[in-house]
Every structure is written in C-alpha cells, then in structure tokens.
Structure 1
Amino acid sequence: MKPIAKFGLAAKGTVYCLIGLLAFMSAFNLGGQTTKKSSNEGVFLFVMDKPAGKIILGIITLGLLCYAVWRFIQTLLDTEQKGKKAKGLSKRLTYFFSGITYLFLSWVSFKVLSGNGGNSGGSSKTDMVSLILHQPAGQWLLGLVAAVMAGIGVYQIWYGNSEKFHKHVNVQALNPEAAHLLMRAGKIGYISRGIVWLVIAFLFFKAALHSKASEAGDTSSAFAFVEQSTFGTYLLAALAIGLICYGVMNFIRAGFEKFKY
C-alpha cells in the first residue's frame, strides 16, 4: 500500500503546483491565462496541450485514483489507528470524503484524457447548487453547505499555523534544509488552501442568500474574486505561490511519509 500512497501524494502535489502556476499566470495575464482556466479541469486541459501531455495526464489520473484508494483504505482499515470513538471516527470520515473528492478528480481527469472534457465543470456545479436551492428550505441547506466549507477553511488555516502536519513525515530522515522547507511550505500551503476554502464558502453563502445558483463558485471563481479585489493581482499571486507550496509539501510527503503499518 505504501507505493500507492506515495504515488497518490506525488500526483496531488503535481495538481496543486499546476493550479498555483496557472493562478500565478492569471494574476499577471501571462500566456493568455485567465482565472477561468485555473480550475482543476483547466489544469488537466493545460497538461493535455503540452508535448506528451496525454501520457503525463494518464499518469496524473492514475495517481489521483491511487490517492483516493489510499484514503478509502485509511477509512476502512483504520491504518492511522484512530480508533472507533467519536474523535477517531470523525477523522476517518474526513479520509472518506477526501477519497470521494479525489475519486471525482480522477474521473474529471479521465474525461479530459478521453477527449470528453471541456467547460462542463461550471455548469455541473451550478446544476448541483440549483438542485439544492429547489429543495424545501433549500437556501438554508445551501447555507449549511457554506458553513461546512467555512469550517474546513478555518481548520486548514489552524492546522497550517499549528504545524501539526509534520507528524505525517519522517522528519528525522530529512536534512535540515529539507525539514525547513517542509515546515515553511506546509504552513504557507495549508493557510493558502484555507483561504481558498473560505472564499468559496463566501460565494456559496451569497448564492444561498440571493437564491441564485450562478453566484456559487469553485476554485477558479475564488481566484477571480480575489483578483477583482483591491491589490487583487498581488493577492492572487501570493495565493498562487501558497498553493505551489502546498504542492511542494505533498512532494516531500510522497518521499518521506510516516506510515504506521
């Protein structure tokens, strides 16, 4: 299982580095890049357009699937020894939802790889939000979704600031420079990821408040929101660098993950 986990972490790191790269390019309008192209699907399309892109995207797709499988194994077999008490079960539940997320991402990547990708991500998100809004108490339900997203964002920022992420890595095997890079990249990366979650939560809250599905957003919408703010170019660039840092941290984890089995 260790090779599966390592491969998955490397794929996750690659995706985040590319998202950060495209967001940074969007901030300064480099290469015709825009925030609309900085979504997960945009990353996969970007890779496909490069030399040997199909091979590279195939590797990324398989890696994301491996990451999802690893998360499901952590959930079902309790490889992290979280136990069956409330706290442990809640942690295992986060592994499960993480697995679902990356299983979906691997599917999106596969669709692009097979030539069925495009601009479907935004419409799918709008359709999902619209479906929620049309349910009884739909605005409240969507508001609850926004609150959960905000909670995830706050947790990511806290987790990064606490530097607890280092417990997943065999730090003793790192040289001082690599250990320093892990702590810096992880802290900046988690905080940046948390900010993205908070912006997305805000967009979902607006959609709930106005009962307007089109106002809900994804990662690219969050980038666009940041870019349109005061000093948006520089804020987006800083956020992009932070996401690259998160990707770098995952690369370090891929090489030095601490396994309990």
Structure 2
Amino acid sequence: MNDTTFITTGDGYRLAYRLDGTDDKPVLVLSNSIATTLHMWDGQIAALTPHFRVLRYDARGHGQSDAPAGAYSMDRLGRDVIELLDALGIERAHFLGLSLGGLVGQWLGIHAPERIDQLILSNTSARLGPPSEFDARIAALKTSPDMAAVAEAFLANWFPAPMLEANHPDVEPFRDMLLSTAPQGLAGSYAAVRDTDMRRTIALINRPTLVIAGRDDTVTLASHGEFIASTVPGARLVTMPAVHLPNVEHPDLYTRTVLDFLLEEKAA
C-alpha cells in the first residue's frame, strides 16, 4: 500500500496515513513537524523502505487529517499514534519524530514504551516556551490568519539563508505545505506545544534513543537536544551542521545516521 488512507480516532476525527514498503519488514513510524505533512519525509523513503515498512501520517490539524477547533494536547497527539498502530495491527514499531513529531516521540517513550522499539528524537525539545509566545501566535491565527506571512516566518527558521535566497527546489514543497495548513490546526498544535513540559519525565524513557540536533537550529536549539540526550538514560546525540530540517538540508547524512542507529542492534 502506498496511497494515503484514513483511520478514525477515538474522539471521532480522521487521521491520514500512508504505508510504504513490504509487510515482511519491521515498521518505522515517521512523525512530521508542525505545519508540514507526511510528505516532509519524501526524500527518505527510497533509502528506508529496503529495511523497513514505513508508516507516515499527517498529524492532527495537518495535511489531509482533520483539524478540529480548540487546543490539542500532547496526550491526544500521542494517543493518535497508538490508535493508528492499533488500527493497523502493529504491536511495536521504531519511531522517528522531528520537532512536534519529536515531542510526540518523547510522550510515547514515557507513556507507551511497550509499543516502541528504538526511538529517534530529531530537532526537538522537552519544553518550548515561553507560553506567552504561543498565546500570541494563537491569537494572531484566530484574528487575522495570514498564512503567507506565517509561511515565510517558518521557512526563515527552517532553512539556511543561502537555500532560501537561491530558491532551492527543496524549499517550495514546504511553502506549499505551510500555505495549506489550516489555521485552527496550527493553533491547536501550538497549544499542545505550549502546555507540554517533559524535562523531568523523559528520564523515564527506557528505549534505545538517538537524539539528532541541528547546530544552527533557532527553533529547537542544539542545547535542547543536548539536554534530552543527557536526561534520557543511555541516549546518544548526533549534532548536524544544519538548521531545523536536516533531513532536507543534508538528506544523505541524515538518512545514513538514522539507518546506522536502527540497524546497529540488528547487526549485533
């Protein structure tokens, strides 16, 4: 199966997902960053599917998934993944999440470790603040949702200036994803990030964990990745010469880093 299809979550909303690869391989779940879709991983699929059955999904509020009004919670975003795994009959999976997806990955590592094999937390944080900043963003989306301005602000934080100035072809799909994001889906996701603080509880994660940080990331600072790696028992840290989306900026290095970690245990 490689077409987008849907499940209905426990609270009655549609969640879009896509499976790539053969069903005789272990499952690897990829979880997108805020204001993107499952297509943010398109550049990784060809290299991952020889080893894994890759399960991607549009986080609640994004892409083809429903975007209910109101605040989302990290608990709800995490349970969306559990319900997706349940619907597909998947008992355990590897999990790679970037940014918002990395927050979801931390929640799963804390609350559902029996469902996770190996965990990769990329360009993420255990706590992003201050809350007032997210309140201001939510208020702006409700009063005058200018997604064009939102898109340009995101892109400036996601990619190095030379890529943007050169109109690099890899940037345009992300602009399209941003422009297609429902304002109330983005606002609900902002609320989930605003209300989340896992700085203490990630010490409970007992799954083999790789943390990937971007040296030049201004959204989730490299120091945020260092904190996660020093708090999760046994976690290892890789810092890349990248901004917020190293899978796009350095796709070969990123994919090789992910595969080295996930396949190491199998080879041992």
TM interval, shorter chain, is 0.3 to 0.5
State the structure with more CA Rg.
Answer: 1
* Larger RCO (alpha carbons 8 Å, 6+ apart): 1
Q: TM-score, normalised by structure 1?
A: 0.32
**Higher helix content, 1 or 2:** 1
- The structure richer in strand per residue is 2
